[in-house]
């Protein structure tokens, strides 16, 4: 039985060899032995890939910085909200205190006027 996987024994008729699309001196890795890329398009794609990778890494760094800044902003917003609650309660308390003081002075002035009028009317 003839094994077609063994290229040394392959005989496809007419003295042919198995199909080989390689060129002399080709390692099938796309790279020539003189140090350059066999295919300029492959080199261009690799450069674009490298640039995209650099951009992706920069963008990831920026995202992490933004996340840190957002965390700081969230903390500041929380503190500001707590301070707002404290301010509102203090302002409400101060408003009540001032309203009561004004009311006391109005009562004192009204009583003083009434007493003066009673003295004036009684003294005639």
DSSP class of residue 42?
A: H
pLDDT value at residue 124: 72
Torsion sign (Cα): 40, 45, 51, 53: negative
pLDDT value at residue 81: 96
From residue 115, alpha-carbon distances to 21, 105, 109 in Å are: 122, 15, 10
pLDDT in tens, the chain (124 residues): 444 444 444 444 444 445 455 555 555 555 555 555 568 889 899 999 999 999 999 999 999 999 999 999 999 999 999 999 999 999 999 999 999 999 999 999 999 999 999 999 987 7
């Amino acid at each position: 039985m003839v094994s077609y996987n063994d290229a040394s024994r392959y005989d496809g008729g007419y003295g042919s060899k198995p199909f080989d699309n390689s060129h002399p001196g080709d390692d099938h890795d796309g790279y020539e032995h003189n140090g350059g890329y066999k295919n300029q398009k492959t080199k261009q794609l690799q450069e674009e890939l490298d640039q995209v990778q650099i951009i992706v890494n920069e963008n990831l760094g920026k995202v992490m910085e933004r996340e840190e800044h957002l965390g700081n902003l969230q903390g500041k917003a929380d503190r500001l909200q707590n301070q707002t609650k404290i301010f509102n309660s203090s302002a409400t308390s101060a408003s009540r205190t001032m309203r009561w003081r004004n009311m006391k002075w109005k009562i004192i002035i009204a009583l003083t006027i009434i007493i003066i009028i009673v003295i004036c009317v009684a003294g005639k």
